[in-house]
Amino acid sequence: MTYAQTIEFLFSQLPAYHRIGKAAYKNNLNNTIILDNYFKNPHQKYPTVHVAGTNGKGSVTHMIASVLQEAGYKTGLYTSPHLKDFRERIKVNGEMISENDVVGFVKKNKDIIESVRPSFFEMTVAMAFNYFAECEVDVAAIEVGLGGRLDSTNIIKPELSVITNIGHDHMDLLGDTFEKIAVEKAGIIKKNIPVLISETQPETKDIFIKKAEECNSPILFADKIFLCNLDKNENLTNGRRYTITYTSTGKQIGGLTMLGGDYQSKNLQAVFAAFSLLKKIFAVSDENITDGIVNVVKNTGLLGRWQLLNTFPLTICDTGHNKEGLEYVLDQIKRTPKSALHIILGFVNDKDLGSVLPLFPTDAIYYFTKASVPRALNEVNLKAEAARYGLKGQSFADVMTALASARMNAKESDLIFIGGSTFVVAEVI
């Protein structure tokens, strides 16, 4: 099989959440354990850091991996979903798994794949853990796919568990309250393994503390240890300055981040707090941390976080897609200088539009569109629903046509924003 044929086989044979949604979700770890045993427990051959959460987990996982790379460790990185190429999910020192390795894995293990019939995600996790073992990585940074307790990555016993912000997302699977969602995220807390919570939230704090106590796991809250001041006068080309303050001593560390989103202040606190614990295991200096942060895009290929696509007109995309993530993004859009605002917007068809559409400004020009995945919400239906909240514009059958229209209409002093769905952003990067 060619690489293209292999990916088509995986998409056509295995249920994939990013394509069909809830129907692909497995509520147990049975297949994951079968595959892990088949591959002789590869994840036990290297230390790991495990990152869960609703918002920020991707950025935090990438930054942790980047810091470890700067410190000289051969670092595996597992994240999801991918934006352009399946291989983005599995990297070693920032290099994607090769097409030949993907093809070879599927070809060699096609019998067990067809026998177990795992989900796309279960198979991908098995591929990643096996690949990291074959590459003899020193450490791997592992991002949870969905939830935590029943996520396929949750077979690992990490050196540190990290839980970022809890927000409204996947509520049909994880629960309809912050508390229920937090219980699922808390499922990554392991016995006697330190857990770091990036943001103290009143609705979830006690849930995490209770779970940590049950597991005899030390628990820390990043925002109680470090405070991050992120320069509001961002420069999307040259980065944003930040200052991290140790709350106990007043010590300050300054640095630069190329990730322009305001929400990165929470993530930066989490990264510094994570390495205050990981320094006991890995030889990592403050300079490694600041270098890892500023070089994260170069080191790991992180994309889609308040990413600059064009300067005139200013064109930005962001993968924030739930209520809490969009609140940060839209607040930043509000204070970004512009003559007029053009928003290219698309969602998946299981999105609770009533929780997100009221957040959007009514004075923007909208280009309602649909990504080329089965889960995408029809653009005409989105336009009709958006009108209920005073959002006006035209509908476009595909993302690139919507972007071309926005570029034609926008003046050089305007702002074009692309978002709503990770899949919409993927098509413009």
Residues 16 and 158 in one domain: yes
Q: Span 268-297, mean pLDDT?
A: 98
CATH of the domain at 143: 3.40.1190.10
Structure tokens at 298: 């170069």
293 and 322 housed in the same domain: no
Percent of the chain with pLDDT over 70: 94
Q: Kindly tell me if the per-residue pLDDT of 28 is higher than 90.
A: no
Domain membership of residue 359 as a residue range: 307-428
pLDDT of residue 405 exceeding 90, the answer is: yes
Same domain, 151 and 22: yes
Say yes or no: 293 and 319 in one domain.
no
Q: What are 361-374's pLDDT values in tens digits?
A: 999 999 999 999 88
Q: Which of 5-14, 43-52, 142-151, 182-191 is modeled with the greatest confidence?
A: 43-52
What is the rounded average pLDDT of the residues 276-291? 97
What does the buried/exposed string (b/e) look like for 86-124 if buried means 16 or more CB atoms within 10 Å of the residue's CB?
Answer: bbbbbbbbbebbebebbbebbeebeeebeebebbbbbbb
Say if residue 116 is in the same domain as residue 228.
yes
User: Is residue 146 located within the same domain as residue 232?
Assistant: yes
What predicted TM-score, i.e. pTM, was given to this entire model? 0.93
pLDDT at 168: 57
Q: Residue 200: is its pLDDT beyond 80?
A: yes
Tell me: do 271 and 395 sit in the same domain: no
H-helix segments, 117-198: 120-134, 171-174, 178-185
> How far is C-alpha 367 from the chain's CA centre?
25
Same domain, 265 and 328: no
Contact present, 322 and 348 (Cβ < 8 Å): no
For 179, residues 6+ apart whose C-beta sits below 8 A from its C-beta are 203, 204, 207
Confidence of residue 161 (pLDDT cuts 50, 70, 90): very high
pLDDT at residue 26, as a whole number: 56
Segment 374-379 shows an average pLDDT of 94
